[in-house]
Copies of this chain bind each other. A is one copy, B any other.
């Protein structure tokens, strides 16, 4: 497997566009299109929030019941959540407009929204936006870049990744883009993620690969503990790599899973590191846990702790807050028999052992905690399972962004 530049337009046959539609923001791109020249088998995972945005309801139906999809229309600024029947009608009209402009059946069009909850989307602006997107759609990296920029809300950078691997003599490419920032605690977040690939694969295996991999990637990140009404992650596979179709859990399936994981983990980490107001990516790896689920729960509790996140912002080795978070996670363990380390580019130091602090250097700890990527390693000494979770620090800017966001 090889990392390459690019995003959703990296695989063969995928086109994209990003345009200014004036949905809510002014003077910036706020609508995107991802389009495949050929029909795609499509898999998706969605928010488990009881309050589901209208586009989530629309897409769940398409992913489940439609054999193929070929286009996704995305807008930023308004989430189309808590908008009742009018909101769902907006999804339908968006899809109808796209279907007509692109010459596709209605059930081949997916929609996704992100932004403020509770506002209605102005339908005339969105259909005008769709027409503009269809006119401007194109292959190539620049088109992908425009789409990745258009889906941002409070994100500070666009988030893309792409990889390639071989099946026989055929090159298969997987590319993706996502947006994150706030209301990010995917329990698949206001995350939206779109992954494209030219692999030929069955719909069942595509869904299985996605559903399994999100458990260790997107579901292991958190910016603020709030699980969005709009979380949507879609994968579209158009088969244009012309590989022997993947229809069983064989070596080729495992290669695809590995590639998908690389894209998902890369995008998930980008999302965590660019959390609203964040100055650092905060990773917690739990090793030697008794079960995989324990490892996931423990690592996620640490990156979700407001106090720990504030300490990371302050570059303060206040490791007691990490112990505290592990302790309330809901997993039984012996605090006297575990170890804690801080890791960074500048090295690794042990902080806690045998029930109390080691004789570590505060200076060295502060140096590690001042890096843009801070890692905590927790050795539970209970078994053979491990998991990794990613979050960010809690900063003045998180509060500022979210005290002001709607205005």
Contact = CB atoms under 8 A, between A and B. Distances in A.
B316 A51 contact: no
A70 B336 CA distance: 31
Interface stretch (A29-37, A254-262, A348-356): A348-356
B226 A306 contact: yes
Given A50-B326, A51-B323, A321-B226, A82 B116 contact: no
A52 B321 CA distance: 12
Given A49-B327, A327-B51, A118 B305 contact: no
A403 B84 contact: no
A106 to B, nearest CB: 24
Contacts of A398: 306, 310, 399
A225 B224 CA distance: 11
Main secondary structure of the interface of A (DSSP, over half): loop
Interface string A375-407: 000000000000000000011101111111111
Interface string A293-319: 000000000001111001101101011
A224 B306 contact: yes
Interface in A45-59: 48-52
Nearest to A330: B50
Interface string A309-343: 01101101011110111111101110110000000
B320 A50 contact: no
Contacts of A326: 50-51
B356 A314 contact: no
A310 B321 CA distance: 22
A314 B396 contact: no
Interface string A57-98: 000000000000000000000010111111100000000000
Contacts of A305: 225-226
Which has the most chain B C-beta neighbours within 10 Å: A313, A314, A401, A402?
A402
Contacts of A307: 182-183, 224, 226, 402
Nearest to A335: B51
Contacts of A79: 320
27 contacts: A49-B324, A50-B326, A50-B332, A50-B335, A51-B324, A51-B327, A51-B335, A52-B327, A79-B320, A81-B320, A81-B323, A82-B320, A117-B318, A117-B319, A119-B357, A185-B328, A225-B305, A226-B307, A226-B325, A227-B324, A227-B327, A306-B398, A311-B403, A314-B402, A316-B404, A316-B407, A318-B406
Given A310-B402, A314-B404, 9 more contacts: A50-B331, A82-B320, A118-B319, A118-B357, A183-B321, A226-B325, A310-B403, A314-B403, A395-B399
